[in-house]
Structure 1
């Protein structure tokens, strides 16, 4: 790992943005809300929540159905819990305007209940990360999702989820047999009207205006250990935590993707998703954050 600013998204300014300043308190760093699935399906959301807290969100709350409260309470300490049974309950929770960043999707469940939660979250106008089930629940009607999205949203699909949301873009002819990942992600961001982060060994991040960044985990930054269950959930949490801290959506996605790989490089072989948030202190220390 290198702390050479040329190798860091945003250079010295980004390192400075990651620093917490003296005399600030926890609410100066935002309050993230991560939604969890039901009983037996909370692990992915807990990974995201831990990622959000480790990356510097001042507070993180996990919202879950009543049946999952005891399970989550047994495994969480600094992360708070809130009963969120359905979309109506989420609307009530979001009356607290201090909740400034949301994450929906990791093991949230597929179907109309998740679609209703996404609709409620997006209607609140907060910075929002949509991942996993929050994306796949709209596979049959992606246009319904696109109509609700706003510029403070970040979509984080892997290749399969991307193809379900943007089937024509994923298969459209270009100079070669298919659009490049860069071209495809740019086209997707333009259609969605928000940030799209296409996960992979070459993670591509694009905004609706065509700005694009590529975060590679190949060659001298090869991190094959990231091909493990839950790594994407942690990345969603990293982005959410940075959004809570006030990072712009594109900046949050770029920075989180870079830090995600750095954590994997710091740990090395044998990595599991739970290890990624715990590597952040070492990465920050090396950056002198």
Structure 2
């Protein structure tokens, strides 16, 4: 993955010391409407499994019953629109937000404005994925500090069309693309793929190659990316730096898939994490 994310470093980052649940952060995962809450529930389950002290789903009224019927350890709050989200974020114990999975572009755009230029301070750390990335549109100016963008290739092309349009080769690699995108966005960019690149605005970058002995073709399944977004959000809530959170989550995501093996579906990934963490020591 990266020279500064050794097994010892990863073990130290993921160690969970004694403390109250709020010492380990509170993640808010925003859902879509009725029939579209599954992606957010996957992300929320992953955030809880990776050690966030609390995880709350923020759902519109029409989806509250659907969520309540599917969750136990997760908390649930009604978030109908921007006013509800702004009021909920007055609770400063919420220190990480996952925005995008299954939300729908219109809802994502309305809610992303609250944590973008909506004046919420201190800014919670935010993972933007899926519909949240589409709602952002082309990125032309730095985003608030502490954000992590998690595009696949198509989403990257919508966020950074000029960077994506340049043909990759010896003088312009996927690493160069991600670095340039992170510098423009002012935040960490995780460009997904078998050769995932994670770049920070200061030029640091890591490559996670899930190829060869680490190939996990069964990760190409609906919801796997939502789990990755939740892992990052959970680690951000635990106060890992954004680059470290993204790197550690990417490694854990693949390790969980490898531990489970063929036949994997997205729901299996959070449940495989305890075994991965035990093996890490």
> TM-score higher than 0.5 here?
yes
- Residue 62 of structure 2 is aligned to residue 67 of structure 1: yes
Classify 1:261/1:107 alpha carbon distance in 2 versus 1 (closer, same or farther; 3 Å).
same
Tell me the CA shift for residue 186 of structure 1.
0.6
RMSD, aligned CA:
1.8
Instruction: Give aligned pairs, total.
Output: 277
Pick closer, same or farther for the CA change 1:173–1:269 going to 2, 3 Å: closer
Which residue of structure 2 lines up, in the alignment, with residue 153 of structure 1? 147
Change (3 A) 1:259 1:7: farther
Match of 2:96 among 88, 97, 101: 101
Q: Is the CA contact 2:29–2:44 (under 8 Å) kept in the aligned structure 1? A: yes
Q: Deviations over 1:174-208 (max 9, x none)?
A: 655x8321111011001101000001101100001
Q: Which runs of 5+ in 2 are unaligned?
A: none
Greater shift after overlay, 113-122 or 86-95? 113-122
Q: What runs of 5+ residues in structure 1 fail to find an aligned partner?
A: none
Give SS of 1:137's match: helix
Q: Deviations over 1:141-166 (max 9, x none)?
A: 533xx45x122000000111000111
Cα distance in 1, alignment partners of residues 59 and 144 from structure 2? 24
Rounded to whole Å, the distance in 2 between the matches of 1:244 and 1:278 is 20
State the distance in 2 between where 1:31 and 1:287 align.
24
| Alpha-carbon separation, structure 1, partners of 2:86 and 2:253 | 31
Paired position in structure 2 for 1:45: 40
Deviation at 1:116, TM superposition (A): 2.3
Residue 121 of structure 1, CA deviation:
2.1
Q: Which residue of 2 aligns with 1:19?
A: 15
The DSSP-based 3-state class of the residue aligned with 1:78 is: coil
